[in-house]
Structures are given as structure tokens and as C-alpha cells.
A and B are shown apart, each in its own frame.
Chain A
Amino acid sequence: MNLINLKQVTKRYINGADCVTALHEVSLNVDEGTFLGVMGPSGSGKSTLLSALGGLTSPSSGTVNIDGIDVYGLSHEKQADFRREYLGFIFQSHNLIPYLNALENVMLPLVVTKLSSTEKRQRASSMLEKVGLPDRMLHLPQQLSGGEQERVAIARSLVNNPPLLLADEPTGSLDSATSLQVMNLLAELHQGGQTIVMVTHNRENLEWVDRTVYLRDGLIEKDTIGGSIGTLPQAM
């Protein structure tokens, strides 16, 4: 069953007289439970695609449906609700709030829900346990290693039990050993049935995905099963 359904999505950025087409009539269906890798050179439209999926960038034309919901047909406030209920974001640079400890960072998406304080705390702490940080809950981000920060970010993205996880370069700022830990964690989530769309530059990360799309100049150049996309261009 399709969880993601993009129909002829075009996104143009207009800056004065300049017009850049980041996505050009991209159509994409992704089944529930898929771990999709998105690769491509800089400026190929990877981030724009992820933004469009995340209800963060309104396409110039085309439609984005997630779980049957026309994301950009929703009002701004409903889009916010949609992001909270359907999506989990893992940002490239963790994007943790520096003055909140790990537990509070993970609780952030729950703050605006109607759950009781105890339940919010319980859910956040169990999520931190799940990502292997039961003893780091009260640490501030700067007291955590890069890998730990990434795991806090993953815990935060999952605390609402979203059907779709969007990850932007989740290992971009990590060493290879830590990257491996993070990718194993994502793989574990995937095995648990989590749908994941991951933008990555790192070809090694594709070992864990079960489908890969390769973008170039706003178009899907390749769409392959598994992590194999053949010989990659030098421009990457």
C-alpha cells in the first residue's frame, strides 16, 4: 500500500529574474514499510524533495499525498498538525535545542499534545532507552557526543510514533563507527515496520535501504530496488 504518492511535483525557486527548477514533474510512489534512500549530486533536488514530503515546501505544481492526505491542500495550521502526527524529522545537524536536556528535547513534539506530563515524560524516556541512551537523559546536547546527539534527534523524531520518518543526511556529521551505529538503529526501526526516507551522500548507507532513487537536475534519473544504483557519477 502506498504511503507516499507524489504526482508530477514541480518546484521552482524564483529569485528576481532567476528561476531555478529544483524538482521537475517528479512522480513517486513509496509503499508503507519501505526504507528509501535518496541520492544525487548537490543541487539535484534531494533536499527539496524531502521538504516537499515533509510539508515544509509547497510545490509550484503537482500534489503530495501522504497516507491519502493531500498535504498542501491543508491549511497552515493543519499542516503543522500533520507534521506532528505523521512525520518524524531527523535533521542533518541534529538541530537539538541547546538549553534543553536530552529528555526535554525528545519531549518537545509532545509539549503541544494533550498527553499528561507524566505520559509525555514516560514516552520520551522510553524512546531514549530504545535508542540506547537511558543514562544520558539529563545531559545537555553539548555534553553528548555527535552519535549520541544524533540518537537523541532520532528519538525525538519517533516519539510521536509517526508513520513516516524523514532523515536528512543522518550520518553527515558523524565518524564511520558512529555512522554505523546510527544506520543500524535506522535499520532496526525499518525492520519494525517504520517507513523511512533518507537523503544521503554516503553510498555506504545505501546498504541498509531497500529502494534507492537517484536524482539529477530535479528529475529521478534512477529508481532501483535495494541499495545498488550502479556506477555513480564523479560529480557526487
Chain B
Amino acid sequence: MHNLRRRKGRAIFLVVGLLIGVATVVTLLSLTDALGMRAQHELEKFGANIIITPHSEQMALSYGGVQLAGVNLVAEELQQSSLVNIDSIPNRRNIAMIAPKVLGAIDVKGQRAMLMGVDPEVEFKLKRWWSIAGRHVQQGPELVVGDTVARRFNLTMGDTLEISGQNFTVVGLLDKTGSQDDHLLITPLPVAQEVLGKQGLVSMVEIAALCHDCPVADMVNQLQQVLPGVDVQAVQQVVKTRMHALGQFRLLAWGVAVTVVIIGALLVFVTMMGAISERTREIGIFRAIGYRRRHVLHLVLMEAAIVSAVAGVLGYLTGVLATLTALPLLDGGEIHWQWNPTLAVAAVFAAVLVGLLASLQPALRASRLEPNEALRAL
């Protein structure tokens, strides 16, 4: 400590050098983490990532990018009562939402249209990107109408539409989504089951699984086991694309981090070598008065550890500050930083480790100095 205080300039130089390295690593890793969390958050907002459909050999209708068994043809439907089995899978805690729906073709004003029955409590939470003028359906014969179908039948809020002899009130108009949803008439599940003659049946189930780390493929297998005779598919393409991009960024972050750490280590190495050269005489005194080689080694490494630990703590704090500054500039400021205690501990530990490793050779050199050679006084 005395030596560090005396050679403040060198100590500060070492601390700043290592601090920059640690701060860079912490910033990059924190940003990667935050972006990962953001991707996960978006994934959750994106909606379902597992879709269950009746098993069918025929290709009939595509919904949400998934081929459904013939909803307008003769096909088996899922028994709604069997859905309780979903709760029995090992990863049931990862399931956030189960959204069953029944689909069927109906006649409206002499034209064919698609009716979809949904669980209003779940469906509208799942489809967060739906923008609805009016309100959600709640119960009874109410409709939320897709943009295309609304134009086709010239429907506005409050209109009444007769379907299978029953009058439905339009309570909401779905803004254009650019997907199949624009063609749908959406009504509560029991109403649709009754109109379509599919009581107790569902055409498909969308599941939102909160799977930051859990294996979706495993959940698909588990669902397949508890729901025999159905097709379970994971919607992973978007997630995988995002995760792949994130993986590339993470790789880049690690690349930069490793480079910075190597530069930091070289800085410590060169500075410590200089310090040892400067302190040769001093080391000679220590050795002459009876310090063993390991005592000298311990002295030098202790100094390196103190400097590195200070650099680690300050570097971590600087990294956090840099992350907090950088985050609002990314993705419209919707990403939030979360304290990661593991990263904090790892940053300090890594700084000390790098400091010690980089100082090892200079310390060994110091400890191997022969006292007489070092002193040149006697």
C-alpha cells in the first residue's frame, strides 16, 4: 500500500488501464444481456410460440403461418376437455397462456366467411398487436370484425349481422393487420361452437410459453405425449432469427471484450515489468535482509491484486454507467438495465485474475533477483 501511495502515477495508470478494459467488457455484456431480455420480451409480445392442431394428412387452411387441418372440410377437431392435460406437462410453469379457438366457415349475406370463436380473456391479451376500434367481445353474440371482412360486408360499429339465424352485434373493428386475421369474424368461443355445431370442440390451440431459457422443443414433445393424435408445432422462426442476430452480437461483444482484456493484461505486464526494474535495488534490500523469494513474489502480486481489485470495482461501475447511458439510444429506449450480481462479481474477479496473471512473470522475475546483483551496494 505504501508503495502504491508513493507511486500514485503508476498506480493510477494501471487502475485506469484495467478500468477501461473492465468497463468495456461490462458495457458490452450488459448491453447484450439487455438486448437479449428485450428480444425475450418481444417474443412474449409476439404471442404464441406453440400451436396445437388436430392431426390431418390434408392441407387445408393456413393460419398464423401454420397449416390447419381442414376447418371447412370434414376433419377431426380437438376435444376441449382434453386441454386440461396440458397442465400436466413437466414444463407447465413455463406456459403463460392457453388460447383455444374454433374456426369454421359460415354464410353471411349469401357469401362465405370465416368465424373464429375465442376465449376473450386470453385471446386479446395474447394478440397484443391487435388494434381494435371499440372493445373486445365479452360474452353472447358479439363480434370483432377483421378489416377485410368489414369492408366486404360494409360493417361499422354497432351494426347487427345475422349468422345462422342469430343476430350478432359488431362491438369492435380490428385494424388492418395484413394477416389472415383481417378475414375473421371473432366471437366468444361458446357462441362460435354453437353456431358451427362444434360444441366441446376446438380447431386449434395457441400456447404462449415463456421460454427464455427453457427448451421449446422439449415442451413440444411433452405436449405431444399428453395430447395424442394432435400436431404440436413450435413457431420459432422469428425467435431464432432474432436470437441468431443476438448471438452474432454476443460473439462480437466477446471478441471485443477478449481483445480489450488482452490489451489490459499487456498494459499491466509492461507497467509491472517497468516497476520491477525501478525497484530492483529495493528488492535487493528485501532479499538481503532475509526475504525469501516467495515473500517478494507475494509482495508484488499483492500490489497487483489491490490495483486490479480497485480497477475491477471502478471498471464495473463505469461499465454500468456506460450501459445506462447507451441503453436509451438503443431500440427507442424500451430496453431496461437489470442488475446482474454475477457480472459484478465476475468483473472484479476477472480484473484481479488478469492483473495477477499479467503480473506473474514480473513478480517471478523480481523474486529471482539475486540480492547482490540487485543491490550492487556490497
Please report A residues at the B interface, Cβ cutoff 8 Å. Answer: 47, 50-51, 54, 56-57, 76-77, 80-85, 87, 89, 91-93, 95, 97-100, 104, 108-109, 112, 156, 160, 166, 168
Q: Would A112 and B290 count as touching, CB distance under 8 A?
A: yes
Chain A residues, Cβ within 8 Å of B96: none
Is A168 a contact of B378 with CB atoms below 8 Å? Answer: yes
Residues on the B chain within 8 Å of A84, using CB: 289-291
Instruction: Judge whether B282 is part of the interface by a CB distance below 8 angstroms.
Output: yes
Complex contacts, B371 vs chain A, CB 8 Å:
56, 83
28 contacts between A and B (CB under 8 A): A54-B288, A56-B372, A57-B372, A57-B378, A76-B293, A77-B294, A80-B287, A80-B291, A80-B293, A80-B295, A81-B292, A83-B288, A83-B371, A84-B290, A89-B289, A91-B285, A91-B288, A91-B375, A92-B377, A97-B2, A97-B282, A99-B2, A99-B6, A104-B2, A108-B285, A108-B289, A112-B291, A168-B378
Specify the chain B residue showing the minimal Cβ separation from A87: B290
Which one, B281, B289, B370, contacts A83 given CB within 8 A? Answer: B289
Contact call B378/A91, Cβ cutoff below 8 A: yes
Q: Please list the residues of chain B having a beta carbon within 8 angstroms of any beta carbon in chain A.
A: 2-3, 5-6, 281-282, 285-295, 370-372, 375, 377-378
What 12 additional pairs, Cβ within 8 angstroms, besides A56-B375, A57-B372, A112-B290? A51-B372, A77-B294, A80-B291, A80-B292, A80-B293, A84-B290, A89-B378, A91-B375, A92-B377, A95-B375, A112-B291, A166-B378
Is there an interface contact between B289 and A109, defined as CB atoms closer than 8 Å?
yes
Report chain A residues within 8 Å CB of B2: 97, 99-100, 104
Q: How far is the CB of A40 from chain B (nearest CB, A)?
A: 15
Instruction: Say whether, besides A77-B293, A85-B290, A99 and B5 are in contact (CB < 8 Å).
Output: yes
With A81-B290, A83-B289, A112-B295 already in contact, the answer to whether A91 and B5 are too (CB < 8 A) is no
Chain A residue nearest in CB terms to B5: A99
Write the nearest CB–CB distance from A101 to chain B, whole angstroms.
9
Question: Which B residues are in CB contact (< 8 Å) with A51?
Answer: 372, 378
Bound: A207/B289 CA distance, A: 28
Evaluate contact between A56 and B378: CB separation under 8 angstroms.
Answer: yes
Contact A95 B295 (CB under 8 A): no
Provide the residues of chain B in CB contact with A112, threshold 8 Å.
290-292, 295
* Residues on B with beta carbons closer than 8 Å to the beta carbon of A85: 290
Q: Shortest Cβ distance from B201 into chain A, in angstroms?
A: 84
Of all chain A residues, which has the CB nearest B279?
A97
CB-nearest residue of chain A relative to B4? A99
A56 vs B6: C-alpha distance when bound (angstroms):
29
Assembled-state Cα–Cα distance A98/B282 (Å): 9
- Distance (whole angstroms) from the CB of A121 to the closest CB of chain B: 15
Q: Could you say which of A77, A85, A99, A166 has the most chain B C-beta atoms within 10 Å of its C-beta?
A: A99
Interfacial chain B residues near A83, Cβ < 8 Å: 288-290, 371
List chain A residues, Cβ under 8 A from B377: 91-93, 95, 168
Which residue in chain A gives the minimum CB-CB distance to B370?
A56
CB distance from A79 to the nearest CB of B (A): 9
* Interfacial chain B residues near A97, Cβ < 8 Å: 2, 282, 285
**B3 in complex: contacting residue of A47, A92, A99, A166, CB < 8 Å:** A99
Min C-beta distance of B295 to chain A, whole Å: 5
Contacts of B6 in A (CB 8 A): 98-99
5 smallest CB-CB distances across A and B, nearest first, come from A84-B290, A99-B6, A56-B372, A83-B290, A80-B292
Please measure, in the bound complex, the distance between the C-alpha atom of A100 and the C-alpha atom of B371, giving whole angstroms: 20
Contact of B288 among A77, A89, A160 (CB under 8 A): A89
Cβ of B269 to closest chain A Cβ, rounded Å: 23
Closest to A46 in B: B378
With the chains together, A164 CA to B378 CA distance in Å?
A: 16
Determine how close the nearest CB of chain A comes to the CB of B87; give it in whole angstroms.
66
How far, in angstroms, from A100 to B282 measured CA to CA in the complex? 12
Which chain B residue has the least Cβ–Cβ distance from A108?
B289
Question: Among B2, B3, B282, B371, which residue has the most Cβ atoms of chain A within 10 A?
Answer: B371
A156 touches B282 (CB 8 A): no
Contact partners of B295 in chain A: CB under 8 A: 80, 112
Residue of A nearest to B1 (CB): A99
Kindly provide the distance from the CB of B240 to the nearest chain A CB, expressed in whole angstroms.
60
B286 contact set on A, CB distance < 8 A:
108
Q: Which of B285, B290, B293 contacts A95 (CB 8 A)?
A: B285
